[in-house]
Amino acid sequence: MLFLVLSGLALLRVWAVLWGEVGGANAYYRLCAGLPAPAYFDGPAGTAMLVRVFSGMGDAWLLLGPLWAVAATLALVHFGSRVADPRGAAGAAVVMNVLPAFNAEALVAGPVLPALTFSLLGASFVWDASRGQSPRIFSWFAAGTAFAGGALFAYWAALFGLAAGLVPLARPSGRRMENFAGLAWIVIALAGVLRAPWIWNAEREFIPVAGWTLRGLIQPDWPALGAGLVDFLAGISPVIAITACVVFVRVVAGCRGAGPAGFVAAVAAPGVLLGGLAVYRGWDAGIAALPAVALVLPSAWVALERGRAILWAGAALAVAFSVPVYTGIVRGNGLMAETAAHVLALDDSLSGEIPGGLFHIAGDAGLAASLGYQIRNAIVPPEGHPPVYELESQAITSQFAYWPSYADFVEAVRPSDEFFTESKAGNPFEGHSAVYVGREGPAGLPQAVKGAFSDVQIVREAGPPEDRLYIYLCLDYQTMPL
């Protein structure tokens, strides 16, 4: 059954990513790959590095999501066969593959599944080291290397590594020199991988990894809590989500010894905390809880030996929740290509009439990345600039905030204004015109568009009503001097 499910879903995912639209998330990762950095707003540089390597082979980088889904499944089988049994591992792998959150990540070349794969492998190697099932030195070395590989993609893999490394030391009989050395190697490997991202984030006051203030974290936000709870239930599917929570509580209650229950409880604890925080703050709770749910699923399969109908019912419901994930990527096929064709046609028709040509803006990061991906072969941006800029904003919500923008001032030799002679910075886009693509109709244009250009004209609409995009010609960009 595992082989049939894996094969069928792998073919479905390959078809979906190659036939469907290159969505905002995939286009964003592809854009990050073309603009290398030690780290990004969304995490370490592993995703961008891998996409950059595979992008040299045409569209092969689009297959990274399906490939990592297979790798994560095999890693779960490897982990589950140690802490549960082979049947439990296979059943857990089948259930994980139908979860909506897992399927959503399996269609993008993102960081979640590679980090999950390496974390599961690292936990398996720590278990082997703690049980002496293979040479402890080799197992500890493999564990540290695996967790470091996961931390290349997502910071939370480091928390799983530290939690797993501490488990063998929790009991007196496990406090042997090789176990201390193994934990030390995990710390050294993680520090080596995270050094460059730490420096990058420190230079930006850790804004990318914070996302909240202490007061904002403590102060209750009931609408956000409700949204997070809904996202958790929809991303994991209600039956599996509730079952995983119940089994985790039972595992914690029964982990007095040094057996599999204690190990699973300790390793899954960071994921439970991160998932709970995501629910509390209304973040992507389904994705955040996925690593903890994956770790608990083998134990759930064993714990529900006489009640597996619950898991199968949850899996069937998860399939229903996963259907929109696939239909969404296929339904959007052609929308951005159509929009890009209109933008390029407008650019060509006005190239001789507007001095300096047009630059391109989109309403949000996903839209800017998608449009930039579609016009990447026709538009050559300045060095280090994205092909399409995100709309000017004070908010820092993506890597676009750290890339050059059309709103930036550049140092010049002479003052840009005779009345502000102390300022020698100017905006090279001032006086130029742009094409703006957004989801807002003429009545809902943002102030950053209406207030920054002397004239804004709607040119075209693209897409069905539920996914309508509006194309505007924006004339004579103006900005205030420093």
**Per-residue pLDDT for 16 more than 70?**
yes
Residue 130 CB neighbour total at 10 angstroms: 24
CA distance 409 to 394: 15
CA distance 364 to 477: 19
Q: How confident is the model at residue 126 (pLDDT cuts 50, 70, 90)?
A: very high
The answer to whether 31 touches 373, Cβ cutoff 8 Å, is yes
> What is the pLDDT of the chain when averaged over all its residues?
89
Q: Kindly report which listed range (179-183, 458-462, 464-468) carries the lowest average pLDDT score.
A: 464-468
Query: Cα separations (Å) of 420 from 159, 415, 478?
Result: 51, 7, 16
190-244: pLDDT as tens digits: 999 999 999 999 999 888 877 666 666 777 788 889 999 999 999 999 999 999 9
> What pTM did the predictor assign?
0.92
Query: Cα separations (Å) of 74 from 78, 89, 121?
Result: 6, 9, 9
Domain ranges for the chain: 2-331, 335-477
**Per-residue pLDDT for 414 more than 60?**
no
Q: What pLDDT shows up at residue 482?
A: 43
Q: What pLDDT shows up at residue 85?
A: 86
Query: Quick one: 87 exposed, middle or buried, by C-beta within 10 A (0-12, 13-18, 19+)?
Result: middle
DSSP string, 157-192: HHHHHHHHHHGGGGSGGG--HHHHHHHHHHHHHHHH
Query: Cα separations (Å) of 244 from 205, 294, 295, 325, 379?
Result: 36, 9, 10, 22, 49
Q: What pLDDT shows up at residue 258?
A: 60
Rg (CA), the chain: 25
354-390: pLDDT as tens digits: 877 899 999 999 999 999 999 999 988 889 999 999 9
346, two tokens:
């407008």
Q: What pLDDT shows up at residue 222?
A: 84
